Amino acid sequence: LKEVTEGKVRIFVPDPKEYMIEGKFDPSWAPVFYNPKMTFNRDLSVIVVSLLKPKIILDALSATGIRGIRYYVESWKSEQLILNDKNSTAASLIQINVKNNGIENAKIYNKDANALLYEIKSEYIDIDPFGSPVPFILSSINATIRNGIVAFTATDLSPLEGSSRTSCRRKYDAINYKLSSSKELGLRILIGKIIREAATLEKTVHPLFSFYADYYYRLFVIVESGARKADENINKNLKYFGECPRCGFQTFVDENCKTKCPICGENFIIIGPLYIGPLHNMEFLKRMIDTYSDFNYLSSFNRIQKLLNVIEKEAKYKSVFYNISKLASKLKVSAIPPIDSILECLGDASKTHFAPTGIRTDKGYEEIIRCVKSLR
Ligand code: SAM
């Protein structure tokens, strides 16, 4: 074992040196999983949990226990801290790490997360699996109490972003293609799937805060009960998305049927169903922005500041971002103007954290094209 420091905790993790293969190390080769690249995900989650102050925290796929332990030490001393992993080596390591950080009252389980989630209820549930969170959606939504929160990590970007289309159909029950703004559409497909699963339990979810980083999505949802609320959310926020392969025009559409592009007449490529509503709760986002500076000890503090600054600006627009480099290549515009000059030309527009060449605006396609072309 090796002791590492992350945030304000010290955690024992398997020593990477012992699990090297030909001089290389992948966290999944160790008997218990610890990935330092996920520190940013955990750092941001520490801030979210500090604002939520849930009475009960359940870290359903804990590995070393680092997430739940960090929430307890850095966010908020919840009345109950529950940590679980179906790997027995992980469960033993969680015991050690919990003690080592002076936590007396944690409950540690060594169960299948789905089995545990049908036994206990919680106000905050963290689902941080390998790959897709889909196998844990129903059980985690079912296990929430009092408008609780579920936090999902999804690292299976290839189905969500339309690269593995059959896998997306199988796991997310959605038609998908790789489109110009798939980085954002993937998150919307994930939310759409969660809304449909929740609806079977006469519950529904609304995003509290969400983002894309490195190779994953992270999404916090508030769970609400009631068949009518579930129906309303489905009717209002579950639609399809069309992109014109010829001119790049994009829009949400009601149905998955053959629709022609209103600009150039080409058949749209249509994906979905997906969620078309806001990706954050604006009030909560404001609270995140007002509080994150209290966490300036975090190693990813500068990155958090940057991300929140962009999200604060882009969150006011309802439309999916336009990927200017993809749009320019469709329009055969060879030299792409700098993003900042396009933003200036549009006036009411922002960058997006989803893609460096993306712009977000509620202004129409024609105006975007005018700016892209006039600035050449
Ligand atoms: N949350 C951890 C962190 O932030 O470092 C990482 C969790 S790791 C990506 C996923 C963990 O889930 C592994 O430790 C694995 O043993 C565990 N796991 C996988 N399937 C499970 C299941 N069905 N029930 C409980 N644990 C499971």
Whether the CB of 218 sits within 6 Å of ligand 1:
no
Q: In this structure, what token pair is assigned to residue 245?
A: 């392969």
Ligand 1 close to Cβ of residue 61 (< 6 A): yes
Is the minimum distance from the CB of 130 to ligand 1 under 6 angstroms? Answer: yes
CA atoms within 13 A on the CB side of 145: 12
CA of 79 to the centre of ligand 1 (A): 23
Which run of H or E residues covers position 349?
Answer: none
User: Would the CB of 128 count as within 6 Å of ligand 1?
Assistant: yes
Residue 60, pLDDT above cutoff 80? yes
Pocket test for ligand 1, best of 61, 81, 150, 155 (most atoms within 8 A of CB): 61
DSSP summary character for residue 21: B
- 163-185: pLDDT as tens digits: 999 999 999 999 999 999 999 99
- Lowest mean pLDDT segment, chosen from 168-172, 295-299, 327-331: 327-331
Cβ of residue 154 lying under 6 Å from some atom of ligand 1: no
Per-residue model confidence (pLDDT) at position 336: 86
Q: Is 33 in the pocket of ligand 1 (CB under 6 A)?
A: yes
Residues 179, 168 contacting (CB under 8 angstroms): no
| Nearest atom (ligand 1) to Cα of 126 | 1
d(CA 72, CA 68): 6
| Helices of type H across the chain | 39-52, 66-70, 88-100, 113-117, 137-142, 157-160, 165-172, 182-199, 227-237, 282-291, 301-314, 324-330, 339-346, 365-374
The Cα diameter of the chain in Å comes to 66
Predicted pLDDT of residue 36: 96
SS3 216: strand
124 backbone dihedrals φ, ψ, rounded to 5°: -140, 125
pLDDT above 90: residue 354: yes
Whether the pLDDT of residue 237 is over 70: the answer is yes
Residue with CA closest to ligand 1 atom 1: 62
Residue 376 has pLDDT above 90, yes or no: no
